[in-house]
Amino acid sequence: MRRGGIAAFLLVLPLLLLLVLSFALPVGRMLWTAVADPELSDTLPDTAAVLRAWNGEGLPPEEAFAHLARELGAALADRRLGPLAQRLNFEQPGLRALLLRTARAAGELREAPRERLIALDPRWGEAELWRLLRSAAGPVTALYLLRAVDLRLGPAGGIEAVAEEEAIYRTLFLRTLWIAALVTALCVVLAYPVAAALAALPQRLAAWGLVLVLVPFWTSVLVRTTAWFVLLQREGPLNAAAIALGLIEHPLQLIGTRFAVVAAMVHVLLPFAILPAYAVMRRLDPALPRAAASLGAGAVARFFRVHLPLSFPGVAAGGAMVFLLAVGYYITPALVGGPRDQMVASFIAFFLSQTPNWGMAAALSLLLLAMTGAAALAARALLPGFGRRE
What's the pLDDT tens digit per position in 295-322? 777 878 888 878 788 888 888 889 988 9
Residue 343 located in a structural domain:
yes
pLDDT tens digits, 140-193: 999 999 999 999 887 666 788 888 888 899 999 999 999 999 999 999 999 999
Q: Is residue 130 part of a domain?
A: yes
Question: What's the confidence (pLDDT) of residue 388?
Answer: 43
Q: What whole-number distance in Å separates Cα of residue 311 and Cα of residue 314?
A: 6
Q: Do 302 and 232 belong together in one domain?
A: yes
Quick check: is 152 in a domain?
A: no
Q: Do 251 and 239 touch, CB atoms closer than 8 A?
A: yes
Q: Residue 272: its pLDDT value, please?
A: 93
**Which pLDDT score is estimated for 390?**
37
**Inside any domain, residue 191:** yes
Q: Do residues 183 and 123 share a domain?
A: no
Question: Which residues make Cβ contacts (< 8 Å) with residue 137, sequence separation at least 6?
Answer: 37, 40, 41, 48, 51, 52
Question: Residues of the chain with pLDDT > 70: what percent?
Answer: 96
Q: Would 158 be classed as within a structural domain?
A: no
pLDDT at 20 over 80: yes
Q: How confident is the model at residue 379 (pLDDT cuts 50, 70, 90)?
A: confident
Whether 310 and 175 map to the same domain: the answer is yes
> Is residue 129 located within the same domain as residue 193?
no
Residues 6+ apart with CB under 8 A from 48: 40, 41, 137, 138
Verify that 116 and 204 share a domain, yes or no: no
pLDDT at position 234:
86
Q: Mean pLDDT over residues 332-351, rounded? A: 91
Per-residue pLDDT tens digits for 230-286: 888 888 888 888 888 888 888 888 888 999 999 999 999 999 999 999 999 888 877
| Strand 159-161 with 151-153, pairing | antiparallel
The last residue of a domain, from among 97, 117, 139: 139
N- to C-terminal Cα separation, the chain: 43
Residue 373 inside a domain? The answer is: yes
| pLDDT tens profile 107-130 | 888 888 999 999 999 999 999 999
Count of structural domains, the chain: 2
How far is CA 367 from each of CA 20, 91, 108, rounded to the nearest angstrom?
A: 21, 20, 46
**Does a structural domain hold residue 12?**
no
Check whether residue 83 and residue 218 sit in a common domain. Answer: no
Of 124, 139, 154, the domain-final residue: 139
* Domain shared by 119 and 196, yes or no: no
Whether residue 47 is predicted with pLDDT greater than 60 in this model: the reply is: yes
Q: Which CATH number belongs to the domain containing residue 239 in this structure?
A: 1.10.3720.10
**Is the domain of 253 the same as that of 183?**
yes
- Centre a 10 Å sphere on the Cβ of residue 232 and count the other Cβ atoms it contains: 22
Rounded alpha-carbon distances, angstroms, from residue 137 to 41, 133, 371: 6, 6, 30
Percent of the chain residues past pLDDT 90, beyond the cut: 43
Residue 1 clears pLDDT 70, i.e. is over it: no
What's the pLDDT score for residue 156?
67
Pair 265, 374 in one domain: yes
- Tell me the pLDDT band of 4, cut-offs 50, 70 and 90: low
Mapping DSSP to helix (H, G, I), strand (E, B) and coil, where does residue 358 land? helix
User: What SS3 state is found at 152?
Assistant: strand
Q: Which domain holds residue 351?
A: 169-385
The domain boundary residue, chosen from 94, 118, 139: 139
Tell me what the mean pLDDT of segment 92-100 comes to.
93
Segment 34-44, tens digit of pLDDT: 999 999 999 99
Q: Do 281 and 359 lie in a common domain?
A: yes
- Residue 102 sits in the same domain as residue 243: no
Together in a domain, 43 and 93? yes
What is the band of 386 on the pLDDT scale with cuts at 50, 70, 90?
Answer: very low
Q: Fill in the DSSP letter of residue 354.
A: I
Residue 8 lies in a domain: no
Which residues is 36 bridged to in the sheet?
A: 140
Query: How does the average pLDDT of the chain come out, rounded?
Result: 87
